[in-house]
Amino acid sequence: MATACAFALGCPAGLPPALAQSRLPTLGDPASEDFGIATERQLGDAIMREIRADPDYLDDPVLLEYLRSLWLPLVAQARVRGNINADVDSRLAWEPFLVRDRSVNAFALPGGYVGVHLGLMAMTASRDELASVLAHELSHITQRHIARSIANSKHQTLLSLAALVVGVLAASRAGNSSADAANAAIVGSQALAAQGQLNFSRDMEREADRVGFAVMSGAGFAPGGMAAMFEKLDQSSRLNDSGGFPYLRSHPLTSERIGEARARMGTSEPSRMATAAEPARTSASGPVRSGATAPASALEHTAAQARSRVLMDARFDALRRWQALDGDRVAVTVGDKLASAYESALASTLLRDWARADGSIATALALVRGGGTPDVRAERAVVLLQAQSLLARGELARAVQALAPFASDGSRPVLLLAAQAALAAAAAPSAAASAPAIADALRQHASDLQTWVAVNPRDSLAWTALSQIDERLGQPLRAIRADAESRVALGDLGGAADRLRAGQRRARSGGAVDFIDVSVIDSRLRDIEVQRKKNEIDEKAFK
């Protein structure tokens, strides 16, 4: 996905806040005339519909929550600085998402979307380094670099642009067969052609550097995170990256930009950690709260880093290597030890080696709880992994007990894990003995999920969990509607319409039905059909 995503990271740096007051283009700007906000969002949504359908699109609640805990303060600071005005704020998505890819890359897409490869999360040594990348990509969006780049490439149709951006996903997974190799070569050559038209100019990269620096330092992240990222990129550019660092080719580092990154560390004002990034608000695919409210934790980033390393390559041989690290790798610092234990615990869970998983989880918990002052955020990260492991083996009571201290934090991972535990309890052979209590628990989880999706209507996993619970509670029409909404969240409007029509047929087949449920299904089907027609019109307009 990396090289074709041409709005890619040129990697962060920046100037002092006083020098970072670049604002959005005026109404007379060619980018506004040729590629307005509405058009940009339409194109971005079209690209994201394709990306969400791809197997490499990853909705891991734990990693995504951590990514958003860094992203939201940056967006809030961009608003404070005036980089995002009210009109743009309400019309773009401002959504980060994850890509299961080992390459080190991040990229901005039209419409306010930012993709982050697991390989990038796995190589950043601190939350500040990762935040610097996000701030750089966010600045490409707020400064409308995407619109300005596309406006300068009028002979490239928007629809073919979208196809080329998405096409590299297939190329990244191409096998060794001749057919796959040929397809990959075709897609790669198309992507390379698009790259030349979409790469940001050096001036745009410098602007994203300095605006991104002001945003990240104003949001409370350490300015040194940007310089540290440049140091890593500089080192990587001196070595053969074997295709693992795609932005080094699409956005080559220059000595000037590296020097500026180092100089800004000495001229930036001391920054304060943002106290409240912003109130909870709807995002394109789910939650906006971090769940944990304790101060920032270096070990929490270590846990996210370890999780990224394991999930970016879930092949059996790779999992066995990660599993073996706990105790086999020389670990000097607490962070190194935690990374090894977390990697082994997650890999063991995926391999269903429960004894090894329990041992590594115990090691990780001892590390985050030791040292006199427990690290609450890092402990929560390990406990979420523990609950995941316990649910995978069917130890429901222990999983619920592990989640209990965090049950009231209102976070997405806890909400989804608790719903999964309730569903597993209802399906257990012994469920009949405690049916009333299980039904009460399911109703409570259904209420919690309904509240969640009311605020986060494009959270596919939450809608799916709600559908499964409604089915268990004997509410078939509500279950069908929730299943349809999960498909809407993924951009599958055709599948959603089919599910709603199935609901209509079920309602007409007889039996007791709730009139309100029937009305909701009818109304949502009309809305979805209108949106499908609008999407078809938009795609024709792109040609």
Q: Is the dihedral of CA 504, 506, 511, 515 positive or negative?
A: negative
Fill in the DSSP letter of residue 273: P
Could you tell me which residues are beta bridge partners of residue 58?
98
Query: What string of DSSP letters covers 48-100?
Result: HHHHHTSTTEE--HHHHHHHHHHHHHHHHHHHHTTSS-HHHHHHS--EEEEE-
Among residues 209, 300, 517, 538, which one is catalytic?
A: 209
Among residues 137, 207, 300, 517, which one is catalytic?
A: 137
Tokens linked to 172: 């990244």
Counting beta carbons within 10 angstroms of the beta carbon of residue 421, is it exposed (0 to 12), middle (13 to 18) or buried (19 or more)? buried
- Confirm if 500 and 521 have CB atoms less than 8 A apart: yes
Written as one letter, the residue type at 152 is: N
Distance CA 80, CA 391 (A): 42
- Confirm if 146 and 7 have CB atoms less than 8 A apart: yes
Instruction: Please report, for residues 240, 297, 306, 357, 492, the alpha-carbon distance to residue 300 in angstroms, rounded to integers and kept in the order given.
Output: 31, 5, 10, 19, 34
Instruction: Please report, for residues 195, 282, 440, 454, 519, the alpha-carbon distance to residue 450 in angstroms, rounded to integers and kept in the order given.
Output: 43, 14, 15, 6, 18
**What is the SS3 string spanning 19-31?**
HCCCCCCCCCCHH
Residue 220 falls in which region: left (phi positive, over 0), alpha (psi -120 to 50) or beta: left
Active site residue 137: yes
Greatest alpha-carbon pair distance for the chain in Å reads 74
Active site residue 539: no
Tokens linked to 134: 């996000």
Q: Which residues are catalytic?
A: 137, 209
